[in-house]
Amino acid sequence: MPEYMGSCQCGAVQFRVSSRLDHPSRCNCSYCRRAWNAGHYVEMGDFELISGESDLGEHRFGSRTAAHHFCQRCGISVFSQLRWRGEERYVVNLGCIEGFDLLSLTDLPVNDGASYR
């Protein structure tokens, strides 16, 4: 499985994901619409926070079941942890992934996060 490194803008928060990142999507919830261009679901064991745990802020809203994590230094939304279709998952902000061509993505599927608030 390919490995990708990711980080917030200032570099305080760094993470690694093991994923092909071949199923990018968008989310229509009130948070992701504002924070992210596109994300990718990652299984719990395929995500590793490498640095910046103490720099992470957490935002919850609605049902408060999803934890949206952002860097408190630079403000970038880095990843979220939530239950999706019965499974605990991370969702990483694809804009934070090194070497991932975010701007080439078109016609992404939209997850109905707005119904899972």
Residues that bind Zn ion (CB under 5 A): 8, 10, 12, 71, 73-74
> Least distance (Å) from Zn ion to the CB of residue 2?
24
> For the chain, what is the total number of helices (H) and then of strands (E)?
1, 10
Contacts of 109 (CB under 8 A, 6+ apart): 25, 26
Name which of 15 and 47 has its Cβ closer to Zn ion. 15
Smallest distance, Å, CB 4 to Zn ion?
Answer: 18
Q: How many CB atoms lie within 10 A of CB 114?
A: 15
Identify which of residues 97 and 113 has a Cβ nearer to Zn ion in the complex.
97
Which one, 2 or 75, has the nearer CB to Zn ion? 75
Is residue 15 within 8 Å of 48, Cβ to Cβ?
yes
